[in-house]
Chains A and B, each alone.
Chain A
Amino acid sequence: MTPGELFLQQLLNGLTIGAVYALIALGYTMVYGIIQMINFAHGEVFMVGAYLGLTAVLSFGLATPATGGIARLIIVIGIAAIGCGFLGLLVERVAYRPLRKAPKLSVLITAIGVSFFLQNAVMLGFGAQDRYVPEMLPVRHWGGGTVSITPMQAVIFAVSFLLMLGLQGIVYGTQLGRNMRATAQDPLAAKLMGIPVDRVIAMTFAIGSALAGAGGVLFGVYYSTINFHDGYLTGLKAFTAAVLGGIGNLPGAMLGGLLLGLLEGMAAGYISAQWKNVVAFAVLILVLLLRPRGLLGERLAERA
């Protein structure tokens, strides 16, 4: 491989995981934007999404790798996204809404509680071991020569791009989105204007969780193994991505996710695999020192 091809391959590697980080980061940033809360259970919702996807694949016999892999994959993503959307609603209703007026720290603690609950529930339900996720798309190498992109990578790019586009559409083009933006700016004023603030917040959780669920399926199928621990590290990285981009800012979360994936990939590929996290997080610290609100954080008015 020439250095150029090598670089291109590293770029593809980094963007693939970066796209998944971005999908999860959106959930963190939406919730923060609307109620200034870090939803530490969000990584677990992502993990539940991966398991919902696995369950759908196994119970509907969607794994047979004959034809129509992409259609089947999209059905699975849909099931997981809807399931996680409802999970998000439930978590918000049970663990966060009753504490809306409590100190911020209490909600943080219930979030950690929900996180442990979901981890252990999945461990009891699915076992503590790694689970194999069947490949839904054939392993092929596109790109002719030495640089390879697999069909699954292409699907990850396409699905995350479309979902992000859809989210932009919702936030900037629908009544719900307008309500979300209004609630983000001033919940009290929004309430006085007749906006059902509680329902808007619930919908924000649902949408963010659905995106995480979709991300979970993509992650599970791409890496082909999942474990009940997976939400922790990936969730932490997605949270980092959201902060890197400027928490509360939607394009920031996407940019942060892609950037973190790239940073990790380049650090591991050109410096050393064991320094991957060190380099990625050192860059995060540097960015925050120079721009405390993250890369795109100054656009506070648009947060939602």
Chain B
Amino acid sequence: MPNPFRRVTAFFLLSLLAGCGKAEPVVKIGFVGPLSGDQAAQGTDMLRGSELAVEQAKTKEPVIPGYKLELVSLDDAHSPAQAVATAKRLAADGDVLAVVGHLNSSCTKPASAIYYEARLLHINPVSSNPEISRQKFDTFYRICATDDLQGPAGTRFAIERLGAKRIFVLDDMTTYGRGLANEFMGAAKKAGVEILGHEGITQGEKDFTPVLTKIKGLNPDLIYFAGMFPEAALLLKQRQKLNIPAKFLGGDGLFEPALIDLATPEAAEGMYLTTLGGDIHQLPTAQAFVQAFEAKYGHLGAYSSYAYEATNLALEAIRRAGRKDRAAVLASMKEMKRYDGILGAHTFDSKGDTSLRTIGIYTVHKGKFQFVEAANL
């Protein structure tokens, strides 16, 4: 027969335990990006940006008085399925008031629907596919420029600066890659440039020599690649091995120092890429961040500043809401007319996209990314 006294004791102990948890109430910010897999370099660079923002916020006044601030970081391994699973996990955690997240557009897009249903503020640092904000989720905000700007900016650079007349286009068949390739080609066709072909490669594969050989046979003067850096590194390396003279231009998915290590500086020399913003080293507002980041982690990752900016924006929305309530955070974000961050002064349109519409161009010289120019669009 169960002992009623024992049951009472157990109940008492349990309530004590529950009490321990409540002694220090928390509010959380979620971070999601690819922290494992071949894009982990970019995901880790982003996470460090978020970590720095949260760490700095902890040294100041609490965002909501009486609550401890925590960063929850989760891994989506750049898989849309895993992105949805992590989004659901964050949505189900009542302590989470905002999410900074997802590197890949193919992950951000399905996850944004989960955050929308959970009425959870979702600030996206770098997923540039324009379709995401066209879903018109009022929970979605994005602090970077989009591919309908990046693609045509790449086309203009290819024609005016690189003198490209015959272009072969490759993408990685993801939401981001295919979208960016189409934006690039649309602008190129309008400008009367000849597109010799457009093909997709599979993420995670290693051997791209067949399609590169085909490209070599067509003899274009430029190869445009819309995809991520691991595949770009292989393309550059194999382009060198096959002795293909065509120039190489890519999108912001290539903006990661690991690209140069993986491809070798010789094979990457002279390639170009477009980025979703200007040169961080020329922004006076960003210098304190750059110093703090480099002091803590060494070198600055390409996307660290975006994650830092997105996290600070989320923190600002929570601070203005002043209470642990997702609806209040959303309302305060909506009311925020302007946010002065390290990347510039953001105002957000009805789709949640930022007014900062700068596209930068970089090249690789002697194993380092070198800023070439930037255009405000």
Contacts and interface: CB of A to CB of B under 8 A. Distances in A.
Genuine A/B complex: yes
Interface of A: 1, 3, 6, 9-10, 13-14, 16-17, 123, 127-130, 132, 135, 139, 141, 146, 148, 150, 219, 223-225, 227, 229-230, 233-234, 264-270, 272-274, 276-277
A13 B233 contact: no
B331 interface: no
B216 interface: yes
B242 A148 contact: yes
Contact of A268 (B37, B210, B217): B210
Interface stretch (B5-13, B25-33, B199-207): B199-207
Given A17-B207, A229-B204, A269-B210, 17 more contacts: A10-B213, A129-B40, A129-B44, A130-B41, A139-B240, A146-B243, A148-B242, A225-B230, A225-B234, A234-B206, A264-B207, A266-B210, A272-B199, A273-B200, A273-B202, A273-B211, A274-B200
A149 B233 CA distance: 20
B202 to A, nearest CB: 7
A141 B243 contact: yes
Contacts of B350: none
Interface in B219-258: 219, 230, 233-234, 237, 240-243, 258
A274 B202 contact: yes
A34 to B, nearest CB: 30
Contacts of B205: 233
A132 B200 contact: no
Interface string B262-278: 10100000000000000
A35 to B, nearest CB: 31
Interface in B181-204: 199-202, 204
B201 A273 contact: yes
A13 B209 contact: yes
Contacts of A227: 37-38, 230
B242 A225 contact: no
B118 interface: no
B210 A10 contact: yes
B213 A9 contact: yes
A229 B38 contact: yes
A14 B210 contact: yes
For chain B, give the interface size range. 35 or more
A225 B200 contact: no
Contacts of A150: 241
Contacts of A146: 216, 243
30 contacts: A6-B213, A9-B242, A10-B213, A13-B209, A16-B209, A128-B37, A129-B40, A129-B44, A130-B41, A130-B262, A132-B264, A139-B240, A141-B243, A146-B216, A148-B243, A150-B241, A224-B262, A225-B234, A227-B37, A227-B38, A227-B230, A233-B204, A264-B207, A267-B210, A268-B210, A269-B214, A273-B199, A273-B211, A274-B173, A274-B202
Nearest to B42: A129
A148 B241 contact: yes
Contacts of B234: 223, 225
Contacts of A1: 216-217, 219
Nearest to B259: A130
B243 A277 contact: no
A263 to B, nearest CB: 10
A227 B78 CA distance: 15
A187 B27 CA distance: 64
Contacts of A148: 241-243
A277 B213 contact: no
A272 B201 CA distance: 9
B35 A132 contact: no
Contacts of B242: 9, 148
Contacts of A130: 38, 41, 230, 233, 258, 262
B210 A128 contact: no
Contacts of B230: 130, 225, 227
Contacts of A6: 213-214, 216-217
B157 interface: no
B36 interface: yes
Interface string B309-343: 00000000000000000000000000000000000
B40 A128 contact: yes
A132 B261 contact: yes
A223 B206 contact: yes
Interface string B33-76: 00111101100100000000000000000000000000000000
B206 A230 contact: yes
B208 interface: yes
A230 B35 CA distance: 17
Contacts of A123: 36
A268 B264 CA distance: 25
Nearest to A148: B243
Nearest to A225: B262
